[in-house]
Structure 1
Amino acid sequence: MADTIEGVDVEVAADEEMGDATGLEPTEAVAAEDEATGLEDIEPEVLERTTFLDYLRSPIVQLIVGQGAEQTVLSAHQGLLTQSPWFAAQVEGAGATRSINLANDDLQATSSVLEYLYKSDYFPPMTGSQSMDYDTTVPQPDNEGVGLLRHARVYSLAQRFGLPALASMAHRKITLTQSTAHGEIAYARFVYKETSADDTTIRKPVAHFWATRSHVLRHEAEAEFKRMCLEFPQFGYDVLSLVLDQQEKRSQRAEAASSGNALGRKRQRISGVVPGG
């Protein structure tokens, strides 16, 4: 028992020393340790991530595309569809019906928009930054501009629906699509008819294409080129402006070269010797 008592004495002494060191009685020291500091209420911030499953759990929205016998009903998950500000506003206005009317829109282009929302690409898919899959559904040679118009329609819808990344992708696919003079005219007609006058992203390359190649291509589709200029005077003006700009730059370079030669030419020295002197 003596040993036990001594052990108790040692523990008590240790407790007393602890109290003395902190300036608190032993019971007060324990209470201080248990006192809330506020830090225990702070939890690490966990960023919420929307998963693909979340999209699939969202309600179904019906898109009524086309009119009459050509009318088709497409379905899409609201979570994916409302990535577009335009569709988000339409869904909010539709209420419980969850139905959006796209009577004047192209079915294939609308389908490509939905494919992009689900897969971040649309057919034919990109295989690199400067390449895409070959589209076997486009006739060769493509005199109707089928390939160009397919992507142009997607571009137009992407601009309208507020999907800039899709518009950029569609424009990239346009630059990778082969066509003919007739196909290029069909494409130019769509661009100048369906896009706004200040959309230089798609209009300027069209005008530049014809400004730099019209001396060759207009002979392949001269009648269509003439009709295009008469139907869309802005197209003719844009092409002419670029042609004149190029001509002016060539003239300036020629003048600079001529002036440089004149300044660089050594003047004939006049001898101080008088002939016959």
Structure 2
Amino acid sequence: MFSKLNPTKQSFSKGSKHGRSNSSFNKETGVSKRRHEPRRRAHSVASPSTASEASLGSGISPIITLVVGHEHRLFAAHDDVLTRAPYFSELLRYNIDQSPKRIALPDESPEIFSSVLEYLYKSDYYPCLVHNKKRNSWELEPTGDAPGAGTEAIMYYHDSEGPLLKDTVVYCAAEKYGLEELKRLALRKQGLQSGVQCSTILSSARYAYANTPDTDSKLRAHYLALIIRSRSTFKRSGTMQLEMYNGGTQLFFDLFVALCNHVDDVGAASTSPRSNRHG
């Protein structure tokens, strides 16, 4: 599912500022989950003064270890890369715990955090955007020839929500970590998806509403517009019918308002003076 650049498969070494080694930070290489139990207090890292001294002394940004998810998956990132995210910058600035520098993210998905970390290093995440010179357009990179590879690359399987669009979950993670550019990138990638099932659109829309503040309307507006554009399909969808029966959420009120506005816009266009002149 992941490309060879997937940070869950490779850790970031100290050999070069942004280089990677062949060793993996996971239980297969001898790092057991037991080592991290009992679970330490979340967001435990070294003091910023210690990190700064280590960086000045070696000329290499110090390594931060991140323990992610309930299975305690290990990730490693350079301090100067990780602190590009305001969330981690604040965390490292004010925490005064001793070495080793370690941050616990017990409620984060390792798969999604892998994409966030890949973005911090590469300014993109798998599948990446590539420019099609023939069409002069931006597209998602090919995701492999294996059956279902493309679907796996754009889907995220949440235990309680069912299948979600991975870009939606990445967007919500970017919101949490304060990465505005990553939010824009994830939103742009969602606009390139096609053939997504109604049930996945609805579960992803619910997730978006549950994990973004009311002041952040871009992702929500994306789903409202997507449902309206696909209204002929949704009218025949048993999933949509069930969702409406079980309604009462902000999503469906916003959808109602958006549909009303759409009808008003169509009506206004049809009765405009220009329309009458050409009628």
User: Match for 2:265 among 228, 241, 249?
Assistant: 249
- Once the two structures are TM-superposed, the CA of residue 258 in structure 1 deviates from its matched residue by 11
User: Match for 2:210 among 173, 179, 193?
Assistant: 193
| CA gap 1:225/1:94 in 2 versus in 1, 3 angstroms | farther
User: Match for 1:174 among 156, 176, 190?
Assistant: 190
* Structural mapping, 1:74-89, within 5 Å: 74-89=75-90
Question: Is the 8 Å Cα contact of residues 65 and 101 (structure 1) preserved in structure 2?
Answer: yes
Alignment correspondent of 1:101: 104
| CA gap 1:168/1:232 in 2 versus in 1, 3 angstroms | farther
2:119 & 2:275 partners in 1: Cα distance?
A: 56
User: Match for 1:210 among 202, 212, 227?
Assistant: 227
- Once the two structures are TM-superposed, the CA of residue 260 in structure 1 deviates from its matched residue by 4.1
2:141 & 2:177 partners in 1: Cα distance?
A: 25
Alignment correspondent of 1:62: 65
- Once the two structures are TM-superposed, the CA of residue 140 in structure 1 deviates from its matched residue by 8.0
- Once the two structures are TM-superposed, the CA of residue 227 in structure 1 deviates from its matched residue by 1.9
2:147 & 2:271 partners in 1: Cα distance?
A: 48
Higher relative contact order (CA 8 A, sep 6+): 2
Deviations 1:228-276 (Å, cap 9, x if unpaired)? Answer: 6735521111111121112222333344469947xx99xxxxxxxxxxx
| CA gap 1:141/1:90 in 2 versus in 1, 3 angstroms | closer
Question: Is the 8 Å Cα contact of residues 149 and 190 (structure 1) preserved in structure 2?
Answer: no
* Structural mapping, 1:76-155, within 5 Å: 76-92=77-93, 93=95, 95-97=97-99, 98-128=101-131, 130-136=138-144, 139=148, 146=155, 149-155=165-171
- Once the two structures are TM-superposed, the CA of residue 96 in structure 1 deviates from its matched residue by 2.6
Question: Is the 8 Å Cα contact of residues 174 and 182 (structure 2) preserved in structure 1?
Answer: yes
- Once the two structures are TM-superposed, the CA of residue 71 in structure 1 deviates from its matched residue by 2.2
Question: Is the 8 Å Cα contact of residues 113 and 158 (structure 1) preserved in structure 2?
Answer: yes
Question: Is the 8 Å Cα contact of residues 91 and 100 (structure 1) preserved in structure 2?
Answer: no
- Once the two structures are TM-superposed, the CA of residue 189 in structure 1 deviates from its matched residue by 1.8
What is the TM-score normalised by the length of structure 1?
Answer: 0.65
Give the RMSD, CA atoms, in angstroms: 3.2
Structure number with higher helix proportion: 1
Structure 1 runs (4+) greater than 6 angstroms displaced: 53-56
Alignment correspondent of 1:35: none
Instruction: For residue 96 of structure 1, give the secondary structure of its aligned residue in structure 2.
Output: coil
Q: Larger Cα Rg: Structure 1 or Structure 2?
A: 1
List runs of 5+ in structure 2 lacking aligned partners: 1-16, 20-54, 132-136, 157-163
| CA gap 1:231/1:107 in 2 versus in 1, 3 angstroms | farther
Question: Is the 8 Å Cα contact of residues 18 and 121 (structure 2) preserved in structure 1?
Answer: no
Percent identity reads: 25
- Once the two structures are TM-superposed, the CA of residue 52 in structure 1 deviates from its matched residue by 5.5
- Once the two structures are TM-superposed, the CA of residue 56 in structure 1 deviates from its matched residue by 8.2
- Once the two structures are TM-superposed, the CA of residue 61 in structure 1 deviates from its matched residue by 0.9
1:259 & 1:108 partners in 2: Cα distance?
A: 52
Aligned length: 209
